[in-house]
Structures are given as structure tokens and as C-alpha cells.
Amino acid sequence: MGAFSREFKPDKVLAFRFVDEELVKALTSFVERENVETGIISFIGSFRQVKLGYYDEKLKKYMAIEFKEGPYEIVSGLGNVSLKDGRPFCHIHVAIGLHDGRMFGGHLIEGDVLLAEGFVQVLEGEALVRKPDPDTGLAYWG
Amino acid sequence: MGAFSREFKPDKVLAFRFVDEELVKALTSFVERENVETGIISFIGSFRQVKLGYYDEKLKKYMAIEFKEGPYEIVSGLGNVSLKDGRPFCHIHVAIGLHDGRMFGGHLIEGDVLLAEGFVQVLEGEALVRKPDPDTGLAYWG
Amino acid sequence: MGAFSREFKPDKVLAFRFVDEELVKALTSFVERENVETGIISFIGSFRQVKLGYYDEKLKKYMAIEFKEGPYEIVSGLGNVSLKDGRPFCHIHVAIGLHDGRMFGGHLIEGDVLLAEGFVQVLEGEALVRKPDPDTGLAYWG
């Protein structure tokens, strides 16, 4: 596979604030409505509960790690928007902080937010498209 | 409350480097001087000492967690600038790394930096404004 | 030292995706080839193995912390490109997540990625240049 890259121009920036919503669903609906094909996602906030995923290379799937006794600070939320099966897809990783500051993190499967505030920096250019890789079970750009 | 969003255009980007300063104060003065109303903050570096906050939903306030025996790597610093009570306000979450790589994180109350280097990506458009929410004690955009 | 800042305009944004490469080397070659002088780096993904650094203020050098039994989620990858000794230099901090969600993080010395996907937001303006500081052994902008 090696390396892949593509050049874009910065387009508009969409600020978002969600309260009491499931973040993956809310963000995916939002970028779909705004016709975002490619973008950079970053946010902070807090979760009531969250399900993180850890990619198991042997089983070729995400194993879930559940956190149900929030709230948890969203210390960092980072990711991107690209196209998968013709629709905008949000790939997001989050780090959460407990009441004593200890942290857990991984791939965001789903999370109910008390508050999430952040940005989608929309990119202008030929859209990034995810293509399935049978070797890993993941879907890569390019 | 649900969802709120607003569209911006990317304006200038301000790179900053602070050495031996309290970060929240230094960054707030900086964005005030530069007349930033809305922006995206990201940085890395290291803290000598830092006070993190964890939002307690029942008490409706941030509980402090202090780290006094640095230095600590600033593994991630993410946040935003928006207006609160008519002035630029920096909302920042940080993750810190100890000498053995263990991490702690939360809302940044204050932190003395050995070094912080990062960016404020300034956004052009109707400013994001924080309004107090009596239910949670927090101040939300929109 | 105190504070230093510089104003830039957003230029192009480079999306990158690396599979089975050493990230620091791959990213440094990439920004060199693309003639990036100043930029903002952000990415997510996963490492097969990674060597993190913790800056020891007394010894004035980075102490290595090795993680060899991956994969590890790259929960956050944040950093910047600036010039050091006349060439583009990538300063990157990463947070990694283990199979149970526990996190470790620090300065990225080197890391073999299963996958890294992210962006270099290129900045237009007088390049940021790192200058050695004899007091700390670090190299600061300005």
C-alpha cells in the first residue's frame, strides 16, 4: 500500500455544538446535510457514556470497550470526513478523562454527549474515498 | 438544546510559542490583542505544573486535579476561542504525559508551560457567543 | 524568552495516508517533497510499535519509552512543521490506546504505522524557524 496523498484547498469551516445527542449519528447527519465530502474534524466536550473501539488485527474487527458511568471529559476528538460507499463517513478517535484525570481512548463507535463543541474544516478538491482492504478488513483512502 | 452550527470562512492563522508563562492567561491576552472572536486552538509542548478540571454535573462546577511535579508532556492541547460576556474566551482541553508515558487529561484550568507551541486558526463570520445554561451551569454556543 | 507569534495565511491542505511505514521518516520526506516550510499536522490511525519520548529537563534530552506489542490505536497525533537547520522538521506528539483503552503518550520519536491518516495544513508566510536554546537543549521558534 505504502503512501497516498492528495492536495486540497481550504473551503468553509463549520462550527458545531451538540447537546444530548449521539455524536457519530449527529455528526454524520450534519456533514451529509452540509454536503461535506472531505474534511478535518476536531472537538472537545463531555460524554455521558461512550463506546470505544480497539481494532483487533487478527479478528479484523473493532472490539468494543464501554464506559457507562459518566460524565467523562472529551479531552480530544480528532478525525476526518471522507466518502465510503458514496456517502460521507466520519472516522473519529477520542480520548476521555475520568473524574481523577485518568484517560482512556480509542476509535469512537458511539457516544452520548452532554456537550460537544468543535469544527469541521471542509476541504475543496477531489473527494477522499475509502476502499476496502481485504487483508486488514479496514477501508483505506486512495 | 439539540444541535447548533454556524458557517465560517478561514481567516489568518496565528502561530504562537510561549516559554515560562501561564498558558490560559497568555493565550487569552494574545487572542484579545489580536482581536480574535472565533478560532480553533491546537498546541503541543510541556507543562511545569498544571491544574485540570473535571466537570461535576451534580455540583455544576469544575473540580480541580493538580499536577505539581512536572515537567509533563503536553500530548494534546485542543480548544476554541469564542465570545463570553463580550470578550474572547479560550476553552481548552489538554492531555498530559508523565515520565513513564501514563496520561492524565481534562479541562485546562491553568498551567505553567516550559514550552507551548501551536496555532490559533482564526475564523471569519458572525462570532460564536457563549450563553449561560442554568440547567448545567455551563455556557453554550448559540 | 516569553512569547513569540507570527501571522500566516492558510495555503493548501495535504491529506496523507501511510500504511506500513515509519511515520516520522515518511512524514518528513513527504513535507520535504512538497516544499512545506510551516504547517499544522493532525492525524489518527494505529501503530504496530512506537517509541515515545519524555523530555528530561535535568538531562536536557528525550528519554525513550518503547511500546513493542501493538497494535495501538493512535488516539491523537498533533504537531507542526517548521524549519530546523534549513530543512523541514516535524515536531509531533501522540497519544496511543491499548486494547483495554488505557492510554500512553508523549513526543513521537519513531513509530511503525499499520495506518496513519491525516492532514498537513500548509501555512503561507515567513517560515517558522527553530533556534537552539542552550539553557534547555530544545530548539524554539523565533
Mean pLDDT confidence for B2-6: 94
> Mean pLDDT, chain B, as a whole number?
95
Q: Give the pLDDT score at B58.
A: 83
Do the Cβ atoms of A17 and B5 come within 8 Å?
yes
Q: Give the pLDDT score at A137.
A: 80
Nearest residue, CB atoms, C105 vs list B13, B30, B101: B101
Does pLDDT of B1 surpass 80? no
Bond prior to A10 in cis (omega within 30° of 0)? no
Does pLDDT of C58 surpass 90? no
H or E stretch covering B131: strand B130-132
Residue C34 is given by DSSP the state T
Does pLDDT of C1 surpass 80? no
Residues of chain B contacting C79 with CB distance shorter than 8 Å: 44
Q: Give the pLDDT score at C56.
A: 82
Rounded to whole angstroms, how far apart are CA atoms A110 and A120?
18
Do the Cβ atoms of A140 and C95 come within 8 Å?
no
Q: Give the pLDDT score at A22.
A: 98
Mean pLDDT confidence for B36-57: 95
Does pLDDT of C51 surpass 80? yes
Encode pLDDT of B110-132 as tens digits.
999 999 999 999 999 999 999 99
Residues of chain A contacting B92 with CB distance shorter than 8 Å: 44
How far away is chain B from the Cα of C128, in angstroms, using its nearest Cα?
9
Mean pLDDT confidence for C66-91: 97
Least confident range of A42-51, C92-101, C133-142: C133-142
- Entry field: residues in chain C: 142
Can you say whether the dihedral through the CA atoms of B92, B111, C88, C117 is positive or negative? Answer: negative
Chain C: residues touching B (Cβ < 8 Å): 1-10, 38, 40, 42, 52, 54-57, 63, 65, 67, 76, 78-80, 91-95, 103-107, 121, 123, 128, 136, 138, 140-142
Do the Cβ atoms of C75 and A93 come within 8 Å?
yes
C-alpha cell read off for C108: 513521537
Q: Give the pLDDT score at B134.
A: 85
How far away is chain A from the Cα of C126, in angstroms, using its nearest Cα?
20
Encode pLDDT of A40-75 as tens digits.
999 999 999 999 999 887 888 889 999 999 999 999
**Nearest chain C Cα to B76, which residue?**
C78
Mean pLDDT confidence for A94-104: 97
C-alpha cell read off for C28: 518528513
C-beta separation of C95 from C105 below 8 A: yes
Q: What percent of chain B has pLDDT over 70?
A: 99
C-beta separation of B32 from C14 below 8 A: no
Rounded to whole angstroms, how far apart are CA atoms C28 and B98?
26
Do the Cβ atoms of C15 and A5 come within 8 Å?
yes
C-alpha cell read off for C7: 501571522
Q: How confident is the model at residue C139 (pLDDT cuts 50, 70, 90)?
A: very high
Residue B84 is given by DSSP the state E
Q: Give the pLDDT score at C135.
A: 82
Distance of CA C60 to the CA centre of its chain: 19
Rounded to whole angstroms, how far apart are CA atoms A105 and C137?
32
Q: Give the pLDDT score at A61.
A: 84
Q: How confident is the model at residue C107 (pLDDT cuts 50, 70, 90)?
A: very high
Do the Cβ atoms of B105 and A14 come within 8 Å?
no
Residue A40 is given by DSSP the state E
Secondary structure of residue B89 in the 3-state scheme: strand
| Cβ neighbours of A39 (radius 10 Å) | 26
Q: Give the pLDDT score at A60.
A: 83
Encode pLDDT of C28-39 as tens digits.
999 999 999 999
How far away is chain B from the Cα of C20, in angstroms, using its nearest Cα?
23
Q: How confident is the model at residue C62 (pLDDT cuts 50, 70, 90)?
A: confident
C-alpha cell read off for A57: 488485527
* CA-based nearest residue to A43, from A56, A65, A62, A24: A24
Q: How confident is the model at residue B84 (pLDDT cuts 50, 70, 90)?
A: very high
Do the Cβ atoms of B104 and A99 come within 8 Å?
no
C-alpha cell read off for B28: 487569552
Beta-sheet pairing, A87-97 with A72-84 = antiparallel
The ipTM, to two decimals, is 0.97
Choose the mutation target among C24, C40, C44 for the interface with A, i.e. most A CBs under 10 Å: C44
Do the Cβ atoms of B56 and A121 come within 8 Å?
no
Mean pLDDT confidence for A66-88: 97
Do the Cβ atoms of B78 and A119 come within 8 Å?
no
Chain A: residues touching C (Cβ < 8 Å): 1-10, 38, 40, 42, 52, 54-57, 63, 65, 67, 76, 78-80, 91-95, 103-107, 121, 123, 128, 136, 138, 140-142
Q: Give the pLDDT score at B57.
A: 78
Q: Give the pLDDT score at C102.
A: 97
Q: Which residues pair with B90 in a beta bridge?
A: B81
Helix, strand and coil content of chain C, in percent to the nearest 5, comes to 10, 70, 25
Does pLDDT of C100 surpass 90? yes
